[in-house]
């Protein structure tokens, strides 16, 4: 049916006159057909709804356009926000990326170093094994050498003892000869020729010219070479005996020097308080002259007196 056409319905009906009888001519019931035009409600409703939907179509299109525009705008806004983020955050992100790159490089370097160290450890372990083997061999060699050295030391000691015995015999013979030979009475004397006897000791007075003078240490070495030492005097009597035999205008070194702030004899004993002496000074030694002792620097040069035990005859 074309749009806008009206629907025509035919209704069949019989109409009867009320109490009025029909005309005589008409004996039977008359049938009339009446054409009634009725618009279908459903059709009308469909048409109206269709017309309403027709009006909604543009609205829906507009809404879709608006929604699409909103979505696009939202995307643009989000992108703008991302671009306009806080500079501090961007800086932190950049710093974190830089640190990450740096850590990655350090990790690679550490990995490489770890591999190098592992290789070195392997080499050192191998070298240690070889060294340990060499040490064992060297230890065995040291033991052999130690044994040989002990044997040589024993032989050396034996030879030294023999040489010492021979030297003592030679010295004893020399001492006997020096004490006994050449004497006019053909008797052994308690002191060697040139030495003076005083009580139980012999004294050698080295009155050399000035060119032959010695320091205190040099004088003592000379005395030791003659089996003696610089003279000592523990008592006033011994001091007086030195004075009686000394001579010349210069003093003689004796076995007395300052040690640890006080006077000491060469035999290790302290100076007796009965014997007066000058104030001790470090680096000074005693010179005996005219019955008195004088403090002189040990590096000075002078004459000296040696002393050794007299021979019992």
> Where do the domains of the chain lie?
8-76, 85-188, 196-309
Q: Is the pTM of this model over 0.85?
A: no
Tell me the pLDDT band of 17, cut-offs 50, 70 and 90: very low
Among the CATH numbers 3.40.190.290, 3.40.190.10, 3.10.100.10, 1.10.1040.10, which is that of 196-309? Answer: 3.10.100.10
22: its two tokens: 């029909």
Question: Where does the pLDDT of residue 42 fall: very low under 50, low under 70, confident under 90, or very high at 90 and above?
Answer: very low
Name the least confident of 151-155, 235-239, 304-308: 235-239
Tokens 């319905």 correspond to 9
Evaluate if residue 179 carries a pLDDT over 80: no
**Across 240-265, average pLDDT:** 81
Neighbours of 285 (CB within 10 A): 26
Considering only residues 267 and 239, tell me which one the structure prediction assigns the higher pLDDT. 267
pLDDT for 248: 57
Calculate what percentage of the chain has a pLDDT beyond 70: 65
**What local confidence, expressed as pLDDT, does residue 92 receive?**
82
pLDDT at 253: 94
Mean pLDDT of the chain: 75
Tell me: pLDDT of 3 over 50: no
Is pLDDT of 24 > 50?
no
Q: What are the E-state strand segments in the chain?
A: 8-13, 32-37, 196-198, 201-206, 229-230, 252-259, 262-265, 284-289, 292-297, 303-309
The pLDDT, as a whole number, for residue 193 is 82
The Cα 277–Cα 234 span in angstroms is 13
**Poorest-pLDDT segment among 231-245, 271-285, 298-312:** 231-245
> pLDDT band at 25, cuts 50/70/90?
very low
Task: Tell me the range of 32-46, 143-157, 167-181, 297-311 where mean pLDDT is highest.
Answer: 297-311
Distance CA 84, CA 112 (A): 42
pLDDT at residue 120 is higher than 60: yes
Q: How confident is the model at residue 313 (pLDDT cuts 50, 70, 90)?
A: low
pLDDT tier at 60, thresholds 50, 70, 90: low
**Cβ–Cβ < 8 Å for 230, 219:** yes
161 compared with 208, residue with greater pLDDT: 208
Say whether pLDDT at 216 is over 90.
Answer: yes
What's the pLDDT at 65?
74
Instruction: Compute the distance between CA of residue 240 and CA of residue 235 in angstroms, rounded to an integer.
Output: 9
Region 59-84: what's the mean pLDDT? 70
């Amino acid at each position: 049916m074309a749009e806008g056409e009206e629907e025509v319905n035919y209704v069949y009906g019989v109409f009867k006159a009320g109490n009025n009888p029909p005309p005589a001519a008409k004996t039977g019931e008359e049938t009339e057909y009446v054409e009634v035009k009725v618009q279908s409600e459903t059709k009308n409703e469909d048409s109206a709804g269709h017309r309403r939907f027709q009006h909604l179509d543009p609205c829906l299109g507009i809404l879709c356009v608006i929604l699409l525009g909103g979505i696009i705008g939202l995307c643009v806004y989000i992108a703008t926000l991302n671009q306009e983020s806080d500079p501090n955050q961007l800086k932190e992100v950049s710093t974190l990326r830089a640190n990450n790159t740096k850590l990655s490089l350090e990790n690679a370097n550490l990995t490489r170093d770890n591999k190098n160290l592992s290789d070195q450890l392997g080499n050192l372990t191998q070298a240690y094994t070889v060294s340990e083997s060499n040490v064992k061999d060297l230890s065995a060699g040291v033991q052999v050498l130690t044994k040989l050295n002990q044997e040589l030391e024993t032989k050396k000691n034996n030879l030294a003892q023999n040489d010492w015995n021979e030297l003592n015999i030679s010295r004893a013979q020399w001492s006997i000869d020096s004490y006994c030979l050449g004497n006019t009475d053909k008797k052994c004397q308690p002191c060697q020729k040139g030495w003076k006897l005083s009580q139980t000791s012999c004294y050698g007075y080295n009155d050399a010219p000035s060119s032959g003078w010695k320091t205190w240490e040099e004088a003592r070495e000379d005395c030791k070479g003659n089996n003696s030492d610089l003279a000592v005097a523990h008592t006033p009597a011994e001091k007086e005996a030195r004075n009686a035999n000394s001579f010349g205008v210069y003093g003689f070194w004796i076995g007395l020097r300052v040690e640890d702030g006080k006077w000491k004899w060469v035999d290790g004993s302290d100076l007796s308080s009965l014997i007066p002496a000058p104030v001790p000074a470090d680096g000074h030694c005693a010179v005996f002259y005219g019955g008195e002792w004088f403090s002189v620097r040990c590096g000075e040069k002078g004459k000296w007196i040696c002393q050794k035990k007299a021979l019992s005859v």
